[in-house]
Structure 1
Amino acid sequence: MSRSRTFEWQDPRVSADAVGQQSGLDFLRSVLSGRLPGPPIAATLGFTLEQVEFGSAVFALEPGEEHYNPIGSVHGGVYATLLDSAAGCAVQSVLPAGMGYTSLDLNLKFLRPITVDTGKVRAVGSVLNQGRRTALAQAELFDSDDRLLAHATSSCMLFPVPAAQ
């Protein structure tokens, strides 16, 4: 039986142009409040930024069949996307205006399978260490009973963002 899903997103250049114009925390709060559009990948996969504070970010997803791999569980790439988003945005939340970041690596451990029966999952990212050029963050993926489903660490490169013209 065929299934379909429709989604919409806003122009990603709007948010991209705002990066570095304010602190990372203020930028993420603008995304959370809807003053800036979220990233298209969030609309594509159906996840949301639920919470952001200095040094931490939380994303949530209600898993559906559209997230499945051929063996009937959520694809590892979905886990990785949630964990990369949580770890990276935790790093972004500590950056001053004029600074940006990019992920250098993502090391991931899958601990439990996720299916539609799992219910809502949360990726909780936190900064472990911040230097002048790099930052180290971790992210943990939990189910609604706070069982750990996956764990990741990520190194991020920090760099100055050119001022808007």
Structure 2
Amino acid sequence: MGRTRTYQWEDPAILAEAAGRMAGIDFLRELRAGRLPGPPIGHLVDFALDEVEPGRAVFSLTPGEEHYNPIGSVHGGVFATLLDSAAGCAVQSTLPQGMAYTSLDLTVKFLRRITADTGPVRAIGTVVSSGRRTALAEARLVDAKDRLLAHATSSCLLFPVPAQQG
């Protein structure tokens, strides 16, 4: 018999609107505290924002077989999603109200196989450098013993949020 998994999410426009009217660190703290709904991707992949401070964001995931590729290990896209989220939110945590970011690139190095037996993993994102128009962040994916599982760097474009009509 096949396995199933059910999840639900809130309207992502709620998050987009909140992100546009708050400083990045405040937005992420509200998200982490549950005062804003989680993003749909977090529900889909089943990961969570655990820590946030200026220039740093930490996400966690407990890998399961629902994350597997056809060869019986966690798909690299799941690694990349966690690393992209950690690096991007590290950048977001440094942005003032009225500024936003988008990822320009993500370079990922996969170092170890992950399975459900790996146990919980954490993606730790930190800002390496930030300027007026771009920021560079890195993220490390580690297991409970702090063994490095994957590493990523991300370049982000910084831009002003368009003014709200209303």
What TM-score range do you get, normalising by the shorter chain?
over 0.9
Structure 1 runs not aligned, ≥5 long: none
Report 1:3-82 matches (<5 A). Answer: 3-82=3-82
> What code does the residue aligned with 2:161 have?
V
State the 4+ residue runs in structure 1 displaced beyond 4 angstroms: none
1:15-64: CA deviations, max 9, x gaps?
11112311100000010111111110000000000010000000000000
Structural RMSD (CA): 0.7
Aligned length: 165
> What code does the residue aligned with 1:15 have?
L
Percent identity between matched residues is 69
Structure 2 runs not aligned, ≥5 long: none
Match of 1:121 in 2: 121
Q: Find the residue that maps to 1:162 and give its secondary structure.
A: coil
Q: How far 1:111 sits from its partner (Å)?
A: 0.2
TM-score, L = length of structure 1? 0.98
Is the aligned partner of 1:145 residue 2:145?
Answer: yes
1:66-119: CA deviations, max 9, x gaps?
000000000000000000000000000000000000000000000001000000
TM-score, L = length of structure 2? 0.98
Aligned equivalents of 1:121 and 1:139: distance in 2? Answer: 13
